Structure 1
Amino acid sequence: MVLENILLIISLLFVVSMLTMLSEKVGISYPIFLVIAGLLISFIPGMPHFQLEPDWVFLIFLPPLLYEAAWNTSWKEFWAARRPIGLLSIGLVVFTATAVAYISHAIIPGFTLAMGFVLGGIISPPDAVAATSVLHGIKVPKRVVTILEGESLVNDASSLIVFRVALATIETGNFVLWKAGVDFLMVAVMGVIIGLAIAHVLYVVHRFFPTTPSIDTALTFISPYLMYITAEHFHYSGVLAVVSGGLFLSFRAHELFTYQSRMQTNYVWQTVVFLLNGIVFILIGLQLPEVITGLNDYTVAELISYAVIISLVTILIRIIWVYPATYIPRMFASVRRKEPQQPKWQPVFIVAWAGMRGVVSLASALAIPLLVNGSPFPHRDLFLFITFVVILFTLVFQGLSLPYLIKWLKIEDDGNNADQENALINSRLATVSLDYMKSNYDGEIQDFEPFRLLKDRYEKIIEMADYKLLHSEDNASIGYVRKYRAMLLEIIEVKREEIVKLRQERACSDALIRAKEHELDLEEARLRRSP
């Protein structure tokens, strides 16, 4: 049995890798492609049923995925966008849960208001990975991505709190608004405190203990689980514990890690997060047999009408919320002073449209207990079906349409700003390097060719950066700079071909060839990361 489960997991990882490559080939975002593929696979006769256990998502998948997202989030940009992030991650979640609660209570016979809030808490949080992966490679303003990523860090916590309060109301039959509000604040604040407390302990370990790159990497994997489990043990928000701890350690990362630790940790995390995300999305599609079990009490027309209406409501509610939340605060003078530039309606629409639901919603639906007070939980199978359809509807419909909408609305990124920032940092770094060389190695610069060549290289970097800063608005100049970078990438490919010849000729040792390949890899990574 154990060997069969291991084989099943390995097969699933292989399928995820192959389907992700295929999604790149056909040009569809891999979360959408994997969900559709999982759905189609579930129709194959004889396929084993993959039951997504809520504990797997909340304990195994969610902490590292949240931690990785928090780690790669800029605290400066997160804090600068705190108002829209807060309005989306808390205000919109409560607004969506309330709207879904009243509408489902109105259209579904026997569906109480408390059940409506349970459903609203389940389907209110958009999925982080879905939105950012769809936007990957598409030119959109940086602030749009920051808002969507920041929202996804917090909205899981607020939606899970709404879900748990509503569930407790059904189980106990009691609901007191002020008490629910106090509990909400207590769960959120204590989750943040626990996350920051554990993050400070880990900071001391990374900073002052004799760690190695492997130990640092291992600790980064232990950290989110430690934060999440500790907070959940005391019935506080494990999500906010992971997010707050991850943001703190990310902000202090430059003090903690050597370059070896940073490189090794980044490579390992990229692989693990890719596999976790892939498994999660293909499992969503594979849940169809589990979802349709027990739906015999409803007609097909009823099921479709309920699911489609609530799916449309979740999309419309986000659009209705986003525009007033964007423009109304700007009526106040204090907000106008801080943000004098009025946002265009097109990027705001992308924020409103990028509300794809994902695995947290499905895991929450599956976490609904089978029994309540000794009786079967009412409409549990309907909860699962509606949640599944909302995920499919938003992920496929909104996700597939998003790139075309961006193109149709002619939304462009703020790339010129990024070019200027890149030129500025290159100029500053090259300047301090040149000053240091002249102060400490002036004699060697005069007498030895390698020192002179390095000095000339830094002077060229400064010259190129100054050129980009002076001609940042000149489209022809920007074109030449980008063509120059393209030439450098082509030269790297020429070098790679020559290394292949050297390997075939056995003119150099394999160790030296691998070292040179690594140098080219780092150089290519630097060039491709440049704006």
Structure 2
Amino acid sequence: MFGSAGVHAAQTVFLLLLVMVAVFAIVARRLNVSYPIVLVVAGLLISFVPHVPRIPLNPDLVFLIFLPPLLYSSAWVTSWREFRENLVSITMLAVGLVAFTVWGVAEFADRFITLLDWKSGFVLGAVVATTDAIAATSIARSLGLPRRIVDILEGESLVNDATGLLALEFGLRMVVQGNTPTAGEALARLLYLIVAGIGIGLAIGVIMAWCERFIDDGPIEIVLSLIVPYLAYLAGEEAHASGVLAVVACGLYMSRKSVTIFSPTVRTQVYGVWGALTFILNGVVFVLIGLQLPYVLAGIRDLSRTTLLEYGAIFSIILIALRLLWIFPAAQIAYLIRTRILGKTEQRPGARSVFVVGWTGMRGVIALAAAISLPETLASGAPFAARNLIVFLTFSVILVTLVLQGLTLPPLIRALGLSGASGTNAEECDARRTMLEEALDYLDTERAMDGGNFAHVYDDLTHRYRHRLAAVGGTDGVNDEHEHSPATYNRLRAIAQGAVQAERRAMIRLRDEGHLSDEALRSMERELDLQEIRYESAALD
């Protein structure tokens, strides 16, 4: 139990974090800089201010409190179609690049960092091998990158946590217990992590989607949506599988099903709560990263500040170079697999796009939490001497990749001519045209069934839809306004709702057939939800 003083201190710290998030997010918007970068730098600068409360980063807090909802939110906004189409490229990064990074860091540490040997270098490589889903999503989406680059980066950051944590598990076995796993053990463990993690996540998703069909209450749905990611993560961890993949699989599944299991009103409420929640959690996480500098430096007494800066800078350059070395041949291998083995027809990836994917390898709170969670002693009782240096190097990599690479991305993208590209506009326009045409077909069918009754109602709605159709490639119409009795107005409302539902059915069908991305669907779904909510709230007795 917390005493009153402890509760008061916790409230003060939490309030301070929220104020920092709000203030520096406004600063980031004014500076037109991605807010994770500003929040990390702000936390770093504030850590030097005397008498500011010291807020240590608890790894359990990150893995058990922050990670599940943030992963779930990222998976929810990930398009399954794009994830599936880019699965080869994502696998080359989430599995191949993680393994290459772990090996490369272990070799570099063994040869050039005197305080680390190959095994402790392997642990360091496992800690820093994974990119950050939060940073990748928030930065890449705001820069106008081509859609495919964003999809690959998001997919990589969602999946590579599982492979990175597996590598960390093996590294700790080698360092702490002196037990080196065989290749067969590693492969079997990886397959179990993937299969069991995805299976558990999908099973929970199926159960929750079935339960959601019997509930249409906003507050209850919000509570359930908050429970789901924690349930998936804890179930995956309890089964010694990948809790990360369980959350990702559950989030992808629930996102696909949300178009049919949520009512428009509930969906609007849930999205509003989750939008605020993810922003708060993201902001707190990045501020906490910057505030950790005093704790990182406090554990290192054997090296001078100059030596530490040299180590941090050189190691960050090596890590960036390893990613760039891997990304170019990996992109060509992925292209050959898709075209020669899977039989797909596509253009060979351009060097500019591949370079941007290689440059966008930000690390974040998962890496720092993994480093801090390392044991302080070995199984023999001897101290884990390399631990503090691993924590420092991890912190250095986060600062360099997040701040330096994050700040250089906008001018780099503009210089390469990749800014403002998007592949969803034409697709979305075609989908809107199909939806409106099917809504007009629905109105024609209903008009025939009603005969001459409510003719002006049908004229009114038809004119409205034809105006909307003209905006996406149809012909102009004339919109007449009519005075209606309550009965006539309610009939208009019912017919209008039916037309909106016809649009929704067409939209879902296009998504299921692979002609519409989940991102475009969510944009149009928002419009339909607002229309349907307006009709529901405008009912006349």
- State TM-score, norm by structure 1: 0.85
Partner of 1:455: 462
3-state DSSP class of the match of 2:403? helix
State which of 352, 364, 368 in structure 2 corresponds to 1:346: 352
Please, what is the CA RMSD of the aligned residues? 2.3
Work out whether residues 134 and 399 of structure 1, in 8 Å CA contact, stay in contact via their aligned partners in 2: yes
1:370 partnered with 2:376? yes
Q: Distance in 1 between matches of 2:269 and 2:143?
A: 28
3-state DSSP class of the match of 2:61? helix
1:431 partnered with 2:417? no
**Relative to structure 1, is the Cα distance of residues 258 and 90 closer, same or farther in structure 2, using a 3 angstrom cutoff?**
same
Cα deviation 1:16-53 (Å, max 9, x = unaligned) = 01110111001111000000000000000111111000
Partner of 1:105: 110
Q: Distance in 2 between matches of 1:399 and 1:185?
A: 34
Q: Distance in 2 between matches of 1:439 and 1:183?
A: 58
Work out whether residues 89 and 158 of structure 1, in 8 Å CA contact, stay in contact via their aligned partners in 2: yes
**Relative to structure 1, is the Cα distance of residues 176 and 129 closer, same or farther in structure 2, using a 3 angstrom cutoff?**
closer
1:151 partnered with 2:156? yes
Work out whether residues 446 and 452 of structure 1, in 8 Å CA contact, stay in contact via their aligned partners in 2: no
3-state DSSP class of the match of 1:360? helix
* Larger deviation, residues 301-310 vs 17-26: 301-310
Matches within 5 A, 1:84-233: 84-178=89-183, 179-207=185-213, 209-233=214-238
Work out whether residues 13 and 53 of structure 2, in 8 Å CA contact, stay in contact via their aligned partners in 1: no
Partner of 1:266: 271
Matches within 5 A, 1:401-480: 401-415=408-422, 417-441=423-447, 449-466=456-473
Q: CA deviation at 1:323?
A: 0.9
Q: Distance in 2 between matches of 1:430 and 1:236?
A: 46
Q: Distance in 2 between matches of 1:129 and 1:445?
A: 57
State which of 21, 27, 30 in structure 2 corresponds to 1:22: 27
Cα deviation 1:68-123 (Å, max 9, x = unaligned) = 11111111110000000011111101111110111011112242211111100111
3-state DSSP class of the match of 1:137? helix
1:393 partnered with 2:400? yes
Q: Distance in 2 between matches of 1:133 and 1:279?
A: 14
Cα deviation 1:412-455 (Å, max 9, x = unaligned) = 4444x433222212221211221222221356888654432221
User: How many residues are treated as equivalent by the alignment?
Assistant: 473
Q: CA deviation at 1:156?
A: 0.9
Q: CA deviation at 1:331?
A: 4.3
Q: CA deviation at 1:522?
A: 5.1
Work out whether residues 71 and 248 of structure 2, in 8 Å CA contact, stay in contact via their aligned partners in 1: yes
Cα deviation 1:284-337 (Å, max 9, x = unaligned) = 000011100121111233322222221111101111111111123434652584
**Relative to structure 1, is the Cα distance of residues 8 and 312 closer, same or farther in structure 2, using a 3 angstrom cutoff?**
same
Counterpart amino acid of residue 84 in structure 1? S
3-state DSSP class of the match of 1:86? helix
Partner of 2:79: 74
Cα deviation 1:375-398 (Å, max 9, x = unaligned) = 221221111111111100111110
Work out whether residues 70 and 243 of structure 1, in 8 Å CA contact, stay in contact via their aligned partners in 2: yes
* Larger deviation, residues 449-458 vs 192-201: 449-458
Work out whether residues 216 and 262 of structure 2, in 8 Å CA contact, stay in contact via their aligned partners in 1: no
State which of 308, 316, 340 in structure 2 corresponds to 1:311: 316
Q: CA deviation at 1:181?
A: 2.7
Partner of 1:241: 246
**Relative to structure 1, is the Cα distance of residues 436 and 330 closer, same or farther in structure 2, using a 3 angstrom cutoff?**
closer
Work out whether residues 296 and 392 of structure 2, in 8 Å CA contact, stay in contact via their aligned partners in 1: yes
Partner of 1:288: 293
Q: Distance in 1 between matches of 2:128 and 2:147?
A: 27
* Larger deviation, residues 18-27 vs 242-251: 242-251
Partner of 1:383: 390
Q: CA deviation at 1:177?
A: 2.2
Work out whether residues 426 and 461 of structure 1, in 8 Å CA contact, stay in contact via their aligned partners in 2: no
Q: Distance in 1 between matches of 2:288 and 2:208?
A: 33
**Relative to structure 1, is the Cα distance of residues 24 and 195 closer, same or farther in structure 2, using a 3 angstrom cutoff?**
same
Cα deviation 1:437-489 (Å, max 9, x = unaligned) = 22213568886544322211212222332269xxxxxxxxxxxxxxxxxxxxx
**Relative to structure 1, is the Cα distance of residues 7 and 176 closer, same or farther in structure 2, using a 3 angstrom cutoff?**
closer
Q: Distance in 2 between matches of 1:238 and 1:79?
A: 21
Q: Distance in 2 between matches of 1:275 and 1:290?
A: 24
**Relative to structure 1, is the Cα distance of residues 411 and 239 closer, same or farther in structure 2, using a 3 angstrom cutoff?**
same
Q: Distance in 2 between matches of 1:318 and 1:267?
A: 37
Partner of 2:513: none
Counterpart amino acid of residue 389 in structure 2? L
**Relative to structure 1, is the Cα distance of residues 96 and 263 closer, same or farther in structure 2, using a 3 angstrom cutoff?**
same
Q: Which runs of 5+ in 2 are unaligned?
A: 1-5, 476-525, 532-541
Q: Distance in 2 between matches of 1:15 and 1:330?
A: 44
Work out whether residues 131 and 399 of structure 1, in 8 Å CA contact, stay in contact via their aligned partners in 2: no
Q: Distance in 2 between matches of 1:522 and 1:368?
A: 49
- State TM-score, norm by structure 2: 0.83
Q: Which runs of 5+ in 1 are unaligned?
A: 469-517, 524-531
Q: Distance in 2 between matches of 1:296 and 1:4?
A: 30
Which contiguous aligned blocks of 4+ residues in structure 1 show a shift greater than 3 angstroms?
Answer: 328-333, 412-415, 442-451
Counterpart amino acid of residue 273 in structure 2? V
1:300 partnered with 2:305? yes
Q: Distance in 2 between matches of 1:112 and 1:182?
A: 27
Q: Distance in 2 between matches of 1:217 and 1:110?
A: 50
Q: Distance in 2 between matches of 1:11 and 1:302?
A: 34
Q: Distance in 2 between matches of 1:184 and 1:258?
A: 39
**Relative to structure 1, is the Cα distance of residues 172 and 189 closer, same or farther in structure 2, using a 3 angstrom cutoff?**
same
Q: CA deviation at 1:221?
A: 0.8
Counterpart amino acid of residue 437 in structure 1? L
The share of aligned pairs that are identical, in percent, is 40
3-state DSSP class of the match of 1:339? coil
Counterpart amino acid of residue 135 in structure 1? A
